[in-house]
Structure 1
Amino acid sequence: MLKLPVSSSIQHALTIARYCTSLKETPTLNAFIDDISRRQIQIRWNDGKCGNFPYVWLRDTSPDTQTYTFSSAMTARNLTMRDFDVEVVPQRIALEEGQLVIDWPAGVVSKYSSEWLRLRNPCDDEMRHRRRQVYLKETQLWNAKEIASRLGRYEFKAVINDDHVLHDFLSSVCRDGIAFVSGGTPDAVALIGQRIGLIQRTHFGEIFEVTTKVDASNMAYASNKELPFHTDFPSLNDPPQLQMLHMLQRADEGGLNLFVDGFHVAEQLRINHRKYFDLLTRVKMEYIEQGYDVHEGSDGKPYTFYYDMAAQHRVIRTDMDGNVIRIQFGNAMRSWFYECDVSEIQEVYRAMKLFTDYCYRPENILKIQMENGDIVLWANTRLLHTRTAYRSSADRPRRLSGCYFSWDIVKSRIRHLRDKLNHPLNQPCA
């Protein structure tokens, strides 16, 4: 079991130092060839690297105010595809003052700097790899031993006040699916939510409290018994992708938070039990959630919201290349309906059982005893989570506050911070 130590910004400083030492001056443009037959211009830099730039691409992406609207609020293309000439041909091409200059029809003059072209060279594999990093999809899978050696831990005050630390905190969540913050104040969820951008509202509202209560609308509130591994809201077609919890009052005994990397578990099944992996990537399961929750209305008065949620999910979702991109499973809300032939149902249950067994393997589980003020942010559609049974006194019940986020908002914040901080991994938006 890991306990969370006080974190620092040392890791951030080392990371930036490594980046800065790798920065080099942009090479200068040396020559160009107008390849009319291929409708492209070949550029050569003084370091020997070349790039091929199609006419149509150069006209479409021209960094001028006729082609784009540039303002502090947005960058947007003015050209419309309805009126755009996809057969456009340059009227004049030249190298002037270190820039590629092109005269286009309709009096448009485009000037492309060496750096601009270098960062966007469409036939440069290094550039293509670097550009794909803008989507922040690179993940590192883990078991308990691996995550223990690199688990991101940060100080609350630093996350709130230091953009570098906020960047590293959110980047850790992108990479590992989880990171922790210590020293949170009672309003930490709201404050971190503001730092990230937008909290995702669900049928439990924006910021909610987790504690045992009568007439609970969720299993987490129903008792102090151990919960099964699950992802939140499998009953929703578009479930929240990240969840944050803040420990306000820990239990007197027990109440450990457990996490397992669902992507890692899926890969273990792919390697060791391919038949069951394939079943879980193909068969949709139904999830039902019925109940009510009390919210504050626009008039400040409480009102009861009744819901009847229903959705279908594959336990393991893959992309077109076979990469695991989503885990969705919650046994409490799982219904009786399966999108498969009746002859496969027995095997589907065996697959679910095997998936669950791998989740509970000790070598896969990250165990954390969260203390008061500790905060965890994790990927709800990647990690499965639970907590152990606990005991609390009546006058000091175990309490947490929490909220949800979407990857779009979190990753948008990271990209904005990289631009603001002139981070070495920053990418141009247009």
Structure 2
Amino acid sequence: MACTIQKAEALDGARLMQILWYDEEESLYPAVWLRDNCPCSDCYLDSAKARKLLVEALDVNIGIKGLTFDRKKVYITWPDEHYSEFQADWLKKRCFSKQARAKLQRELFFPAPSASDAEDGGFLHFHLRHTWQVQDKIDANNVAYTTGKLSFHTDYPALHHPPGVQLLHCIKQTVTGGDSEIVDGFNVCQKLKKNNPQAFQILSSTFVDFTDIGVDYCDFSVQSKHKIIELDDKGQVVRINFNNATRDTIFDVPVERVQPFYAALKEFVDLMNSKESKFTFKMNPGDVITFDNWRLLHGRRSYEAGTEISRHLEGAYADWDVVMSRLRILRQRVENGN
């Protein structure tokens, strides 16, 4: 009976939903978090267990227009008539109470395996050994493997140590759409800090859960916590950790901090999308782009699906330690005249 709904209602000008469970416990859920995590096929790609809804399309001040419930579900209508259904057990698991959040974090994170155990399991080389193909796929395990728009993101913040360098090789390009976009995340951080110091403080101090689950070369289920803007001990930005598709539905913060986080994130994303910040271009077959995955965020405009693959990129990652090691060796050889 713990996951059975006794009552559900909208509060605080419809910006909160309160659930009274049959075990007499209560849970509060911000409306913006509910809208962000709508599980319908327009907002969520089930085959990838990833969010399709873009921050750009999210009203961070949204309220609930209509709410009904039964013992196992909540049904919400939004101001634009979008409709969402939420399972009771899904909501209960994501309760924002301190106790519920602590319990869930214990379930998500295990003691780190030793290096030898990780290597035997194939995980040390999981994202480094292979190249990967970016093209429209049936039952895609990543939103990148669809024809939809990709908002600005860094790759794999769901890893504790995201890849430092990314390479993308254009093999085939669609005629219409599919343009690439990049933005200097460090520059956007400077603008955000100047324009809205509070938003900068929120994004540089709030740990956000990221997740990526699926099957590729092997089964994988990776989970991490990162600040979206990562600073060093001098307060300088050293890495951006952000992919809206893999930002988890689980959010380990008190309920009163949820809406301010979304407001800060929306401002950050809006700055990225400003004409002054982003650079848009179209890759041609044979082009290769290499970039710092900790600093540059990249995206893609949507394109039309065809009967054949119309757009095909091949990607690879390198670790900054490996890249810097190679650069030092090459520099030494040049200096020695070899």
TM-score, normalising length from structure 1? 0.48
Aligned to 2:281: 368
**Residue 242 of structure 2: SS of its match in structure 1?**
coil
For the pair 1:312 / 2:225, whether they are aligned, the reply is yes
Identity %: 35
- Alignment-mate amino acid for residue 144 of structure 2: A
Shift of 1:391: 3.3
Compared CA separation, residues 201 and 245, structure 1 to 2 (3 A): farther
Q: Distance in 2 between matches of 1:332 and 1:422?
A: 45
1:335 to 244, 248, 258: 248
Aligned to 1:391: 304
For the pair 1:226 / 2:149, whether they are aligned, the reply is yes
Q: Distance in 1 between matches of 2:227 and 2:135?
A: 30
- Alignment-mate amino acid for residue 207 of structure 1: T
Aligned to 2:131: 207
Structure 1: segments with no counterpart, 5+ residues: 1-199, 296-304, 425-430
Q: Distance in 1 between matches of 2:234 and 2:191?
A: 18
Cα pair 1:283 1:338 within 8 Å, conserved? no
- Alignment-mate amino acid for residue 255 of structure 1: G
Shift of 1:384: 0.8
Shift of 1:210: 1.1
Aligned to 1:150: none
**Residue 385 of structure 1: SS of its match in structure 2?**
strand
The number of aligned residues is 214
Deviation string 1:174-223 (CA, Å, 9 cap, x unpaired) is: xxxxxxxxxxxxxxxxxxxxxxxxxx8435851111110101111110x2
Q: Distance in 2 between matches of 1:423 and 1:219?
A: 47
Tell me which structure has the larger Cα radius of gyration.
1
2:321 to 386, 395, 408: 408
Q: Distance in 2 between matches of 1:216 and 1:423?
A: 50
2:164 to 220, 223, 241: 241
Q: Distance in 2 between matches of 1:340 and 1:247?
A: 40
**Residue 201 of structure 2: SS of its match in structure 1?**
helix
Cα pair 2:171 2:313 within 8 Å, conserved? yes
Cα pair 2:165 2:293 within 8 Å, conserved? yes
Aligned to 2:179: 256
Aligned to 1:216: 140
Cα pair 1:283 1:339 within 8 Å, conserved? no
**Residue 267 of structure 1: SS of its match in structure 2?**
helix
Structure 2: segments with no counterpart, 5+ residues: 1-123
Cα pair 2:136 2:305 within 8 Å, conserved? no
Shift of 1:393: 4.5
Deviation string 1:4-38 (CA, Å, 9 cap, x unpaired) is: xxxxxxxxxxxxxxxxxxxxxxxxxxxxxxxxxxx
For the pair 1:347 / 2:271, whether they are aligned, the reply is no
Aligned-residue CA RMSD (Å):
1.9
Q: Distance in 2 between matches of 1:203 and 1:419?
A: 29
TM-score, normalising length from structure 2? 0.60
Matches within 5 A, 1:411-430: 411-422=324-335
